[in-house]
Structures are given as structure tokens and as C-alpha cells.
């Protein structure tokens, strides 16, 4: 690693971006930058960014990073954000799988999975939820049985985001049914092209193909692809879920356009612009509702600062991510409802000449999932109640019983 890492980063950006991009950044011309970004091959750029170690600059070079200190890495990420470049590989590998692999896997597994994850050459999806194990994830029934150097996996997963595009999956499977449900679970990295993996699409109510159900029949997963120690998958799962709540809480500092937003939905600025276009922005009733949502957005941002501060200090994501996730889902859904109310009858039908309402309606429909995905808001409230407020856990008459003895619907 060069001691002049700032110069190395700027040299990379100038070599891999149009000359006009650097000029626009220097002049503070964000509109030009965003226009150039729309023309950029994001996948190829992020691949080059990852190969140069700038996607995760604090990682060891053996894992695909630059070996920078945490403070240096934060400065590098800030520079990338100032240049408005795409820096996140496709799939959920970087935000979800990587923290888990870094914390729980052995050295060989880290070296195998992290470099192609950072470049986006291997996209990851999540095989956690099952038809009978959604909110109660620990009751999962997918099994993995050891057979020499492999594990043989059988079961079914559901609500797998972008599973039809992923090369690898974060897989939870039960490896010891004689243990209580929170034990005897192991965490694997599973190739999605392995024999016995069947991907079936689930179309959401916005007409989008985003989710899938996955059927696993005698799928062989090498033990070398095991991410957690045997039987310690539940602890590793908490690392992933904590990272997911942080990602879904909208805590990232970077400015986002609507199409970059993790949870989907129009932004407050876009909804205000809609009210202005409709001539409703001076109406006292609509102004009050717009002001309420603007205030909610500011409160969410302030609440999210706690998560950002902890992340900056190197702390593992904790229950505060649940607070932000609840607030983000509630705010985002409420904002889209306001957009529908502003549109009125135009939200139910529109003309060929004016397709703008269709975009708002699609975002409204997509965001109905915000309070479900990444752990339902009800489950998040339980986490806050138990881990933040210290309230007693809900009674469970089967707590501590072997998984195979617990009744399942």
C-alpha cells in the first residue's frame, strides 16, 4: 500500500472517469456529475473500484482491501461520496455477508469469499426465511447433514431478494435437530448454481420480480464454504441481521436519488415538488402535512446519527438499528401515502401523455413491504423492548427444548 493513498485514490478516479467528471467535482457542479453518472457503466466501474481495493479500503489487501486505518478508510469513502461515484457491488454481499464473514469465518474462507464479493463478481442473496420460519427464524427446518467434506442440504426458503441473479447465498441450515432451536444451526455460503437448487420467481404487487422462493434438494455444499463454526450459526445470524437493520434504517450519510434509495419510495423533495406542480403547496392543509413529513425526515436523520457514530467507532451494529429501522419504515410509508393523497384520482388512472403518477404509484406499492422486510416492525419493537428498555421476554413454554420436539405448524 502506498503511503500517499489519497493521491492513489484521486489518480484512480481521474483514470477511470470522464475528464468532465473531475472538472464538475472541482466546480461543485452536481447536476453535471449526476448526468455523467447516468451514462457510466456502474457494474464495470465498481468492479474496477473493488479490484483496486477502494470498495472496502479498511480490509486487509488479502481480502481485497487497501489496509487503511478506519479513519483513513472513512476519509476515502467520503472522497468517493463527494465524487458521487457508485461504490457498492450488486447484491447483498458487501452490506450483509461481508461483516459476518469477517467476524465468524476462518482465514481461508475470508480469502475465498471476500475479494470477489468486493468486486461484485460474485453477488450474494440471503436464504434465511422459510414458509414456517419468518418472524420466528430460529424455528427454521432446512437441514444440512455432514457427508465427508460436504454438507447435504434439503429444505425450502422464501422471500429471497434477487435470488435469481445471485451467484452465492447466505444459507442458514439446521445441523443438529437435538439441540434447542437457537442452537444446532450453522451458517454457510452456498453456490446458487449447485445441482438441486431451484429458483422460482415471486412477483410483488407492483409487478416487479424482486423476490423468489428457493427449493433445495440434496444440495452439496463444501465444508470449506461454511461461514460459522458448526452449531454457531445463530450468533453469526445476529451479525447479518444487525447489519441488515442498519442498511434498511437509511443511516448512510451519502445523498441519494430516489432510484438509489434502499427501501424504495419517493423522497420528501420529490413529494414537495409534486405538491408544487399540482398547485397545492400553498394550501394550509397540504403545507401542514408536508411540514410534518419534512420534520419526520429530519428526526430520522438525527436518530440515525447514533448508528453512524457507533459504526465510525468500529462498534458492531446493535439494537439501535432496530429503532432506526422502525422509524424509517413508518416514515417512508407515510410519505408515499401523502403522495397518493396529493394525486387523488390521478393515482388510480393516468393518460399516455402523463405517466408521472404511475411512478408514484409503483413506489407506493413497493414500500408496503418496508415494515416487513429485514424483520417485521413488530419483531423490531420486541428487540427494542427487550434489549433497550429491559422488558421481560415473551413466555415460551418450549424454550430450551430440543428442536425436533417443538410443535410446528
Task: Indicate which residues carry an active-site annotation.
Answer: 244
DSSP 152: E
Are residues 249 and 95 in contact, defined by beta-carbon separation less than 8 angstroms? Answer: no
First to last CA, the chain: 55
Q: How many CA atoms lie within 13 A of 325 on its CB side?
A: 30
What is the dihedral angle through the alpha carbons of 13, 19, 25, 31, rounded to the nearest 10 degrees? -120
CA angle 298, 303, 304 (to 5 degrees): 95
The number of beta carbons lying within 10 Å of the beta carbon of residue 219 is 26
φ, ψ of residue 215 to 5 degrees: the values are: -105, 130
> Which run of H or E residues covers position 187?
strand 185-191
φ, ψ of residue 406 to 5 degrees: the values are: -85, 125
CA angle 119, 124, 128 (to 5 degrees): 155
Gap between the Cα atoms of 218 and 195, Å rounded: 8
Gap between the Cα atoms of 409 and 407, Å rounded: 7
Amino acid at each position: 500500500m502506498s503511503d500517499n493513498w489519497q493521491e492513489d485514490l484521486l489518480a484512480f478516479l481521474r483514470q477511470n472517469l470522464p475528464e468532465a467528471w473531475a472538472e464538475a467535482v472541482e466546480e461543485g457542479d452536481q447536476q453535471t456529475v449526476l448526468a455523467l453518472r447516468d451514462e457510466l457503466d456502474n457494474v464495470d466501474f465498481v468492479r474496477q473500484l473493488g479490484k483496486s481495493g477502494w470498495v472496502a479500503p479498511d480490509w486487509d489487501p488479502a481480502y481485497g482491501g487497501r489496509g487503511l486505518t478506519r479513519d483513513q478508510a472513512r476519509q476515502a469513502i467520503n472522497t468517493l461520496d463527494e465524487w458521487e461515484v457508485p461504490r457498492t457491488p450488486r447484491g447483498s454481499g458487501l452490506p450483509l455477508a461481508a461483516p459476518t464473514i469477517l467476524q465468524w469465518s476462518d482465514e481461508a474462507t475470508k480469502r475465498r469469499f471476500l475479494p470477489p464479493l468486493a468486486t461484485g463478481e460474485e453477488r450474494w442473496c440471503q436464504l434465511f426465511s422459510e414458509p414456517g420460519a419468518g418472524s420466528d427464524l430460529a424455528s427454521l427446518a432446512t437441514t444440512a447433514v455432514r457427508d465427508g467434506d460436504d454438507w447435504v442440504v434439503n429444505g425450502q426458503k422464501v422471500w429471497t431478494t434477487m435470488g435469481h441473479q445471485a451467484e452465492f447465498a447466505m444459507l442458514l441450515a439446521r445441523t443438529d435437530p437435538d439441540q434447542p432451536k437457537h442452537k444446532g444451526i450453522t451458517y454457510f455460503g452456498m453456490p446458487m448454481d449447485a445441482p438441486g437448487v431451484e429458483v422460482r420467481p415471486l412477483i410483488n404487487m407492483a409487478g416487479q420480480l424482486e423476490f423468489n422462493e428457493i427449493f433445495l434438494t440434496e444440495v452439496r455444499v463444501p465444508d470449506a464454504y461454511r461461514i460459522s463454526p458448526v452449531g454457531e450459526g445463530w450468533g453469526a445470524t445476529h451479525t447479518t441481521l444487525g447489519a441488515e437493520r442498519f442498511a434498511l434504517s437509511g443511516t448512510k450519510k451519502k445523498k441519494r436519488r430516489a432510484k438509489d434509495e434502499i427501501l424504495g419510495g419517493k423522497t420528501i423533495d420529490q413529494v414537495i415538488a409534486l405538491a408544487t406542480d399540482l398547485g397545492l403547496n400553498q394550501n394550509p392543509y397540504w403545507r401542514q402535512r408536508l411540514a410534518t413529513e419534512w420534520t419526520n425526515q429530519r428526526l430520522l436523520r438525527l436518530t440515525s446519527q447514533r448508528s453512524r457514530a457507533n459504526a465510525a467507532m468500529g462498534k458492531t451494529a446493535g439494537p439501535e438499528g432496530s429503532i432506526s429501522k422502525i422509524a424509517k419504515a413508518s416514515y417512508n410509508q407515510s410519505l408515499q401515502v401523502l403522495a397518493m393523497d396529493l394525486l387523488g384520482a390521478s393515482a388510480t388512472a393516468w393518460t399516455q401523455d402523463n405517466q408521472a403518477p404511475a411512478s408514484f404509484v409503483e413506489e407506493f406499492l413497493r414500500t408496503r413491504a418496508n415494515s416487513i422486510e429485514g424483520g417485521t416492525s413488530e419483531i423490531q419493537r420486541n428487540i427494542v423492548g427487550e434489549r433497550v428498555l429491559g422488558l421481560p421476554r415473551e413466555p415460551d413454554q418450549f424454550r430450551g427444548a430440543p428442536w425436533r420436539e417443538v410443535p410446528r405448524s
